[in-house]
Amino acid sequence: MNHESKDIVISIKGLTKSFGSLSVLQGVDIEIVKGENIAILGRSGSGKSVLIKIISGLLKPDSGIVKVLGQEVDKISAKELQELRLKIGFSFQNSALYDSMTVRENLAFPLVRNKRDLDKKAVNDAIEEVLNEVGLLKTINQMPSELSGGQRKRIGIARTLILKPEIMLYDEPTAGLDPITCIEINNLITKVQKQYNTSSIIITHDLTCAKNTANKVAILMDGKFLSTGSFEEVFNSQNVNVKTFYDYNFINNK
């Protein structure tokens, strides 16, 4: 494996996906390198979640090549896919905490389930380390119902980080949060990238979130990436569709 291909953690070429007569992805190409955060923007129904589901092996592509950490996700065995998924952290809107468990128990759960050889001290150390990272060690014995929405979100991210993923997938990380909490979450996403050298895909409608967390943004429109580059490159472009997208989001999100 040469140096160039080693640094590419996700590589997608010519990906298509339809549901019956609905053609959702019509030739998606993208590469994500180690340590890079990419924000995927796109209107509701543009296929962002379908893309994420294909990357994580939950949906099969119709055609194209989808490689994650060097493996073609739709070609590997169920066992290989399970092992690959352990290297991917999912921070989904619906990945709620267990209400009947304390923060400590919520964080111990994925570790005990997936890394069965850890002793009690190793589990405790790992819990304290990730809670420190998200700045919430003090909540260790609290119940989720005692936490704010932003704190629950951070604990959710900690629960993902505890398995030391190489890739993080964030689905609408700032949805429904107030502006100050959005800033906290954006800062945490950037911190995770630096501290753990993860590569992340951040699906968002929030342009501030994209601007502050991503090295690269990509706009999904009509089944393809309309534009990909740094936030400034993409939004300074003269492309009329990009301008329409920006104005639409600016007016609707401010």
Residue 22 beta carbon to ligand ATP: minimum distance, rounded to whole angstroms: 6
Q: Do 163 and 114 meet the contact criterion of CB atoms below 8 Å apart?
A: yes
Helix, strand or coil for residue 116? coil
The piece of 19-27, 108-116, 123-131, 150-158 that touches ligand ATP (CB under 6 A) is 19-27
CA angle 32, 53, 61 (to 5 degrees): 85
- Candidates 10, 41, 50; CA nearest to 226 is 41
Residue 179 beta carbon to ligand ATP: minimum distance, rounded to whole angstroms: 21
Nearest residue (CB) to ligand ATP, 20 versus 179: 20
Q: Do 68 and 10 meet the contact criterion of CB atoms below 8 Å apart?
A: yes
Provide the mask over 160-189, with x wherever binding to ligand ATP is found by CB under 6 A and - wherever it is not. Answer: ------------------------------
Buried b (16+ CB within 10 A) or exposed e, 78-99: eeebeebbeebbbbbeeeebee
Residue 203 beta carbon to ligand ATP: minimum distance, rounded to whole angstroms: 7
**Spatial distance between the Cα atoms of 28 and 239, rounded to a whole number of angstroms:** 19
**What does the DSSP assignment read for 136-178?**
-GGGTT--GGGS-HHHHHHHHHHHHHTT--SEEEEESTTTT--
The piece of 16-24, 129-137, 187-195, 221-229 that touches ligand ATP (CB under 6 A) is 16-24
Nearest residue (CB) to ligand ATP, 45 versus 149: 45
Q: Do 17 and 25 meet the contact criterion of CB atoms below 8 Å apart?
A: yes
Contacting ligand ATP within 32-91 (CB under 6 A): 42, 44-50
Nearest residue (CB) to ligand ATP, 77 versus 94: 94
From candidates 9, 10, 12, 24, binder to ligand ATP by CB under 6 A: 24
Residue 208 beta carbon to ligand ATP: minimum distance, rounded to whole angstroms: 17
156 binds ligand ATP (CB under 6 A): no
Q: Do 198 and 89 meet the contact criterion of CB atoms below 8 Å apart?
A: yes
Nearest residue (CB) to ligand ATP, 24 versus 111: 24
| Positions in the binding site for ligand ATP (CB under 6 A) | 19, 22, 24, 42, 44-50
